[in-house]
Amino acid sequence: MLDYIIVGSGLSGISIAEHLLSRGKKILVFDDNSQASSTVAGGIYNPVILKRFTLAWNANEQLDTALSFYENLEKKLNVKLIKSLPIYRRFHSIEEQNNWFSAMDKPFLSEFLDEKLVSTINPHIPSSYSFGHVKNTGVIDTELLLEKYREYLLHINSFQEESFNYDDFELNSDHCNYKKWKAKKVIFCDGFGLKKNPYFNYLPLSGNKGEYLIIKAKDLKLEVAVKSSVFIIPLGEDLYKVGATYNNWDKTKVPTQDGRDYLLEKLNSFLKCDFEIVDQVAGIRLATKDRKPLVGKHPKHKNMYCCNGFGSRGVLIGPTVASELIKSIEDAIPLSEEIDVKRYEKLYQADLS
Ligand SMILES: Cc1cc2nc3c(=O)[nH]c(=O)nc-3n(C[C@H](O)[C@H](O)[C@H](O)COP(=O)(O)OP(=O)(O)OC[C@H]3O[C@@H](n4cnc5c(N)ncnc54)[C@H](O)[C@@H]3O)c2cc1C
């Protein structure tokens, strides 16, 4: 008998798996590579919303938890996952510069917003205005994390690379059966796959497609991330990630010509050196109606849970929210109301009627 089946091994599934393994639980994780949000993510951890200069939801508290979570994974998997990387916001007007200074008076933001503005950061990224430096930021190599974590799960016989097929799933009062396996509980960390999940598809999850270009720019030699109309994130070896787009209509993970044209237009407006496009990737962000994650127990089935809806901040949100969910199941510590799927119970009832 397994303690838990976990469906999905993106940032959510990995966070859940880690918290369970640290409690000695026996788990089995399924993934069919149908979604790619965690693989294509920029991987940035940055507590500040760079459009409005406000602190992202609970980001201050999530930052420490996330960093120690990824540090532990670095040791466990013997890989380098965390790269501290300053972010520079390229201002487009004097008004934006002034907003930066006003924001510094808000709680916690002074920890992250450098009061000294910088006039130049790179000869190939000129600007009529200054740049604001966001402190304590960086990137997690999510692609490497997913690859290495799956290898680790395989090594401990806890990974099945296959689709979780709901027709083969059967719920009993104190356990569930799935093919040849029995488990006490199941947690769905299925990302946009939730739309096909008959148990949780009543939840208001909407996908927002994001695309990145990967470019090679030999002369750029940029060692910080720059946020102008789009982000440019150094990857090493003269490669940079450029993006991302926001598209509410297309729900596929297929890169598009429109996405490419949009990103090129934005990039050409501020990058003044030669570059070539070497790749283009796309994934679906997991957006929710109230911009809070979707976490907790199914309204009817007591052994069934979900952990989803991380929006564009899964790197920071995942470890904290997964820990909250596991504490609620194992230690009976109630989930905070703002993330608990209970807030959407009326939608479930409406779906039934
Ligand atoms: C373009 C883009 C840029 C982003 N940049 C950042 C960033 O810089 N920083 C940041 O913090 N966040 C970023 N995000 C957001 C971040 O990627 C997400 O919040 C996070 O990856 C969501 O993780 P998840 O595990 O919930 O979903 P996913 O990564 O989508 O994982 C779900 C997994 O479930 C699997 N699955 C689904 N259904 C089934 C099934 N039936 N059977 C088996 N397996 C199944 C899928 O294959 C997938 O692996 C970005 C997202 C996008 C799209």
The per-residue pLDDT for 87 is: 97
The per-residue pLDDT for 143 is: 96
Asked if residue 164 and residue 229 are part of one domain, the reply reads no
Asked if residue 348 and residue 210 are part of one domain, the reply reads no
The per-residue pLDDT for 108 is: 84
Cβ–ligand 1 distance for 215 under 6 Å, the answer: no
**Span from the CA of 226 to the centroid of ligand 1 (angstroms):** 23
Q: What is the CATH number of the domain that holds 24?
A: 3.50.50.60
**Span from the CA of 348 to the centroid of ligand 1 (angstroms):** 24
The residues that bridge with 82 in the sheet, in sequence order, are 140
Structure-block tokens of residue 287: 């957006």
Question: Does residue 78 sit within a domain?
Answer: no
- Give the position of tokens 């040849």: 180
Question: How far apart (Å, rounded) are the C-alpha atoms in residues 322 and 66?
Answer: 11
Give me the residues of the chain with pLDDT under 50, please: none
Closest-CA residue, ligand 1 atom 11, reads 313
The per-residue pLDDT for 351 is: 81
In sequence order, what E strands does 137-180 have?
138-140, 159-160, 169-171, 176-178
Which of 18, 19, 38, 197 most suits a substitution to test ligand 1, by most atoms within 8 Å of the C-beta? 38
The per-residue pLDDT for 31 is: 98
Question: How far apart (Å, rounded) are the C-alpha atoms in residues 288 and 65?
Answer: 23
Domain of 347? 2-41+143-204+290-352
Does the pTM surpass 0.95? The reply is yes
Neighbours of 235 (CB within 10 A): 15
Q: What is the CATH number of the domain that holds 95?
A: 3.30.9.10
Which of 35, 230, 232 most suits a substitution to test ligand 1, by most atoms within 8 Å of the C-beta? 35
Question: How far apart (Å, rounded) are the C-alpha atoms in residues 130 and 151?
Answer: 45
The per-residue pLDDT for 132 is: 96
Domain end marker among 272, 288, 304 = 288
**Span from the CA of 37 to the centroid of ligand 1 (angstroms):** 3
Q: Which atom of ligand 1 is nearest to the CA of 311?
A: 19
151-192 pLDDT tens trace = 999 999 999 999 999 999 999 989 999 999 999 999 999 999
Number of domains the chain contains = 2
Cβ–ligand 1 distance for 241 under 6 Å, the answer: no
